[in-house]
Each structure stands twice: as structure tokens, then as C-alpha cells.
Amino acid sequence: MTDFSYTLLIPLIPLLVFIFTGLFGMKWKPIVSGLIGTVGLAISFMLSLLAGYQYFFASATESFHSIIPFNWLWLSLSDSLQIQMGVLLDPISVMMLVVVTTISFMTHIYSLGYMKGEKGFARFYAFLSLFTFSMLGLVMATNIFQMFIFYELVGACSFLLIGFYYQKPSAVAAAKKAFIVTRFADLGFLIGVLILSFYTGTFDFEKLTQPGSTIFTHVAGLSFMGISALSWAMGLIFAGAAGKSAMFPFHIWLPDAMEGPTPVSALIHAATMVVAGVFTVARLFPIYHFYTPDVLIFIGYVGGFTSLFAAIIAITQFDIKRVLAYSTLSQIGYMMVGLGVSGYGGEAGLGYMAAMFHLFTHAMFKGLLFLAAGAIIHAVHSNYMKDMGGLRKHLPITHITFLAASLAISGIPPFAGFFSKDEILAAAFHSNKLLFYTEYITAGITSFYIFRLYFNIFWGKNTQYKHKPREAPLNMTIPLIFLALASTFGGFIPFHNLIAPDMKPFATHTDLLIVLPSVFIGLLGIAGAWILYKKENDIPEKITVWMGGLYTVTYRKFYIDEIYMFVTKKIIFNRIARPVAWFDRHIVDGFMMGIGAVTVMVSRKIKGLQTGELQQYAFVYVAGVILFVLTFLYYLG
């Protein structure tokens, strides 16, 4: 057995980097913090690759095992309730290690160029390192409680980084929104964890996900409101996962989160943190599959609905980062569908494997899309499509890499997205036709909106630029090229040999009946975008007018934000919060203020007594004595 104890360093290095740059970064030249962060991440990246190699390829066994190199007792609340902190290595966590460190490392390099000269450069790097540490801790968690802690930590980092430009009111509002929405969802996660551990008496993933274990036997009969207790627990945990992964109806925070710097969007809101929800479901997959299949298929439907819903919105948006944000929602929906339709063991585990595969390829191509979008914004100084056009001549490297990522997300072979998306579709086809058709249509919409974006930016009208856009510096283009290579060739990684719900690899075969139609609809989407946006014309305008109200509703994101505002402002604030606030302000505060006011009034009246004049005191004293003497004489004498 290989010694994996060095994996502990993978999260610890970013933590140390965070501590040092956070404490001393202000005193150093900004670039020093950036370089320290980048070098630290480079080491973590190398170690992750080493771990991935040793775990997957060095041992030639038929199946993989969970390895726990470290597991410290952290909180010993009672003999039966103990919480550990540790490192768990199994196929999905090792894969996530590689994904997180790769994207984080690329983002670190990229930010050296993108954030150059930005105020708070050191702060930015400190937060990036903290985030990387938290995310790595999350994926390596040995128990669900450790996972929850890191869940909250990544949420806090997300808040800090979205609000990085804290002088911009919209960024502050977006940060607050993201934090509140995910926090609200995390409440569900916490309650779910508590229910689950209350009945099973353990937090450990090892024990929880052991198929055929007996810890669930005495939960079986319990139910609440017609739904079994275990379903409640797993459903609530999924609510937390949906909050982090921005599934409908918790998706509202993600598009606003684009107020953060673009590298942050690439790292947190495209590749790593938002897939934490998918990862959670995958981690607890055996429980979902064996004990609460109803919740699992519910997850599939939520994912399917979100993917279609977000893809439709993405068509109408003009802010390039927002298009990508909705695209992220849609792709995460795909992963949820993959998990929802998956079975356990052998070929039935295809959906699970495909979801993890898609997570991997999506991290590469969506990270790339965001970084390329950052390079475009860097060159044009605008987020809006109307300010772009014809950029292929000015930004050749960005153009090629963006094209690679667009082809990957559209599922065109041989790019990475093709393999993973195709396997999700295949898994859905075999178990749930409704989800299959939803995802099939979504695939077409996906390729349409992404090529709408592509043609609008790089082709379309010949915009006259005030400053000639220049290609980004080398430290920004190298990550782009690296990720473009990953997006192009990443699909050839034999994932089915590596990842399976029961950790026993299985063989997959290509089903032409699914491959051909999915490639066809991808090409159809591209063709549609080609016709509408390749050359400047007025067809999109006409379609907009023709669609009328339907277009407006979509452009306004189906008024979900407005509904949320209505519920919170009109109902919760006006009907509940305001009366409570009135009671607090007038009754509770009034009582306390009254006590204070009476004391002040009385003391104002009697403060004249204390003059400090000795003679006056003597007079009072003597007068008092005389009064006493006279009284005594009168009554006693």
C-alpha cells in the first residue's frame, strides 16, 4: 500500500499561504503575495497530480478502496458522539483534488495578470488561498460534520470574494445575496445532518455509505408528514447542496455573484464551489440510492428543470459573464440529472460516473470560458456584448481557446464535453425518458447560446474601438492555453475505469443511437447561432419582436428575483418583521427606557442636596439632631 500521508500537505499549504499573506501581505509589495500564493498552489497542484497518479494508476487492482491517511479526534462530545478531522481519499475525492488544485493554480497564475495594479491585490490572494484550503478540506472530509464546517468556510470565502470590490454597492448587494441564500440552504443541510446522525449515531462517511449496513434499520419506521425521517434528512441535505450548487429555486445568487472579479467567477462560481453540491450528493450516493430512491429521482428532476430553465434564460442575456453563469447552472443541472438517474454497481452506475466525469470536464471548459471572458473584458473594458464584435483579429489566443471551450460545452466530438455529456444522456436514456428529452433539448439550447456568445464577441459587427484591444499578457494566456488543452483532450481520460459508485470499475460502450442525435442537436444549435449572429443582421431583432412577452419574461429571468423580493419584502418584512420590530422598539425598549428616564428625573431633582459645602452639611446635621432631640423629648418626656 502506498503511503499517502503527504496528501495532508495539499490543503495545509494554501492555509499557511493564507496565514502569511493575510498577516503580512499589506507590508510586502503586492507581487510578493501573488508569487507566494502561486508557488504554494503549484506545490499543492504537483502533490495532487502525484496523489492522483498513485491512487488511480500505480496500483493495478480491480477496484479502489477508501484510504484514510489521517483522522484526528477533534471533538469528543461523548463516547458515542465524536467528531474527527481527517483526510479521506477515494476516487471522487482524489479527482476533486486534481480539479480544485488545477483550476485554482490556473486562476492564481491568471490573476497575476488580471488583477495587476488592483487595490487589495494581497487581500485577493489571501482570500484565494483560504478558499482553496476550504475547498480541499471539503472534498477530503472524512465525516459529514467536517464537510459542513468546510461548506460554511467556502461560503464565507465566496462572500468575501464576490464583495471584493466592496466600494461598489452592487458587489456588496451581490455578496450579501449569495451569503444569505446559501446560508439559508445550509440551514437545511445542518438539520439534515443532525437528523441523519441522530438516528444513525455516526458522522463518518465510511459507516454511512457502507452498502447493507445495519445503522439504518431503526430509522425505517419513522415518518413525519407522510415522508420517512430518512427521506427528510436526505432531502434537507440536498437542499443544502442545491443552495451551494445554485439549483432552482436557490439559483438566484449565482448570476449576481458575477459582480466579483472574473478569476473568482472562474474558480468559485464555475469550477469548484458550485459543484460542491454535486459532490455532496455523490458522496452520500449509496444512502440516496438504497434508502431514499424517491429523493434521488427528485434530485434528478430538480437538476433537469434547472438545466432547461437556465439554458433558456442564457439565450436572452447580454452580459457575457451572466450568460456563462446561467450556463453553469444548466451544466450543474446536467450533473444532478446524471446522479438522479444512476444506479449502483456495474453498468447501472453509468450516471454517477458520467456526473463526475462531467464535473471534471465542466470545470476545465467553464473555467476556461470564464478566464477567456476575463481576458475579453480586460481588453474591451466592458461586460456587454454590444461593446464587442470582430475581436478575433485582436485577440487570437483568446479566440482559439474560447472556441475550444465552446465546442467542448456544445458536445462536439472529440472535445471533452462530448464524452461526459453523452454519457449523462445515455444514462438518462436507459432509466428516465422524460429527463432524457429535457437534457436532449437543453443540449441544443446550450450550443445555441454559447455560439451566440462566441459569434457576438469574435465575429458579428465590426465595432470601432477607442483603444485598440490588445491580447492579454503571457501570464493570462498560459492558463487559457493549458485549460484549452484540457478541454480538448480531457475527454480521453478513461473515467469509467476510475470512478464508480461502488468503486469497482466497469466497461462502457458507445451507443451510436444516442451519440449521433446528440451531436446532431449540438451542430443544429451552432448552425442556428451561425445564421443569426455570424454577420450583423436584423433577424434576432425580428425574432425578439415576434416573441414579444415571452422574450421579456425570459429576459427578466422568469421574474424569480421579483418573486423572492415580494416574498421577503412584502410578506416576511411587512407582515412579520415589522410588527415584531414595533413590539421590540415600543414595548421592550420602552420599558427599559422608562426605567432609565425615571432614574434620570429623580436624580435631577435630588442632586441639589450634594453641594460639597461643609457648612451646609453641618447645618443639616445639627438641625437633624435638634429635631430628633425635640421629638424624643416630646414623646418620652
Partner 1 sequence: MIQGLSIYHFLVVSTLMFFIGVAGFIIRQNLITILLSVELILNSVVINFLVFNRFLYPDQLQGHFFSLFIIGIAAAEASVAIALIINIYRRIHNINADNVNEMKF
CB nearer to partner 1: pick between 592 and 614: 614
Contact map string, positions 328 to 367, toward partner 1, x by CB under 8 A: ----------------------------------------
Q: Does 615 bind partner 1 (CB under 8 A)?
A: yes
Beta-bridge partners for 319:
384
- State how far the Cα of 625 lies from the Cα of 558, in Å rounded to an integer: 88
* Minimum distance of partner 1 from residue 619's CB (angstroms): 4
Residue 157: exposure state from Cβ atoms within 10 A (0-12, 13-18, ≥19):
buried
Task: Determine phi and psi for 57, rounding to 5 degrees.
Answer: -110, -25
**What CA–CA distance (Å, rounded) separates 178 from 157?**
11
With respect to partner 1, which residue has the nearer C-beta, 80 or 610? 610
Residue number, 3 or 613, with CB nearest to partner 1: 613
Of 545 and 620, nearer to partner 1 (C-beta) is 620
- Using the contact rule CB under 8 A, the part of the chain among 176-184, 532-540, 555-563, 618-626 near partner 1 is 618-626
512: contact with partner 1 by CB under 8 A: no
- C-alpha to C-alpha distance for 92 and 80, rounded to whole angstroms: 28
CB of 624 to partner 1, least distance (A): 13
Maximum Cα interatomic distance, the chain, rounded to a whole number of Å: 125
DSSP letters, 3-50, are --GGGGHHHHHHHHHHHHHHHHTTTS-HHHHHHHHHHHHHHHHHHHHH
Between residues 39 and 625, which has the closer beta carbon with respect to partner 1? 625
Select from 622, 627, 629, 630 the one that contacts partner 1 (CB under 8 A): 622
The x, y and z cell numbers of residue 346, run together, are 456495474
DSSP assignment of 360-415, as one string? Answer: HHHHHHHHHHHHHHHHHHHHHS-SBGGG---TTTT-HHHHHHHHHHHHHHHT-TTS
Q: How far is the CB of 606 from partner 1 (least distance, A)?
A: 19
* Residue whose grid cell is 427578466: 556
Q: Is 591 exposed, middle or buried (0-12, 13-18, 19+ CB in 10 A)?
A: exposed
From the DSSP assignment, how many helices (H) and strands (E) are in the chain?
A: 26, 4
Size of the site for partner 1 (CB under 8 A): 7
Q: Are 484 and 404 in contact (CB under 8 A)?
A: yes
Nearer to partner 1, 53 or 619 (CB): 619
Closer to partner 1 by Cβ: residue 464 or 615? 615
Residue 613 CB, nearest approach to partner 1 (Å): 8
Q: Please, is 290 exposed, middle or buried when counting C-beta atoms within 10 Å of its C-beta (0-12, 13-18, 19+)? A: middle
Stretch that binds partner 1, among 25-33, 131-139, 472-480, 615-623 (CB under 8 A): 615-623
- Of 46, 598, 600, 618, the residue at the interface with partner 1 (CB under 8 A) is 618
Element (H, E) at 89: strand 82-89
Using CB under 8 A as the binding rule, whether residue 619 contacts partner 1 is answered as yes
To partner 1, the closest distance from the beta carbon of 604 in angstroms equals: 19
Judged by CB under 8 A, the chain residues 29 through 88 that form the site for partner 1 are none
588 vs 622, beta carbon nearer partner 1: 622
CB of 633 to partner 1, least distance (A): 15
Closest C-alpha to 457, from 505, 392, 408: 392
Q: Cell 424624643 sits at which residue? A: 632
- Shortest distance in whole angstroms from residue 599 CB to partner 1: 23
Give me the 595-614 binding string for partner 1, x by CB under 8 A, dash otherwise. -----------------xxx
Provide the minimum distance between the beta carbon of 625 and partner 1 in the complex, in angstroms, as a whole number.
Answer: 10
Which CB sits closer to partner 1, 568 or 616?
616
Q: In this structure, are strands 82-89 and 223-224 parallel, antiparallel, or unpaired?
A: unpaired
Shortest Cβ distance from residue 616 to partner 1 (Å)? 8
* Among 542, 434, 419, residue whose Cα is nearest residue 486: 419
In this complex, which beta carbon is closest to partner 1, that of residue 57 or of residue 628? 628
Least distance to partner 1 from the beta carbon of 614, Å?
7
Amino acid, res. 129: S
Q: Choose one: 68-76, 420-428, 462-470, 616-624; the region binding partner 1 (CB under 8 A).
A: 616-624
Q: Which stretch binds partner 1 (CB under 8 A): 179-187, 296-304, 417-425, 617-625?
A: 617-625
For partner 1, give the closer residue by CB, 563 or 625: 625
For residue 610, the minimal CB distance to partner 1 (Å) is 11
DSSP secondary structure letter of residue 465: P
Q: How far is the CB of 565 from partner 1 (least distance, A)?
A: 58
Type of residue found at 570: K
Contacts with partner 1 by CB under 8 A lie at: 612-615, 618-619, 622
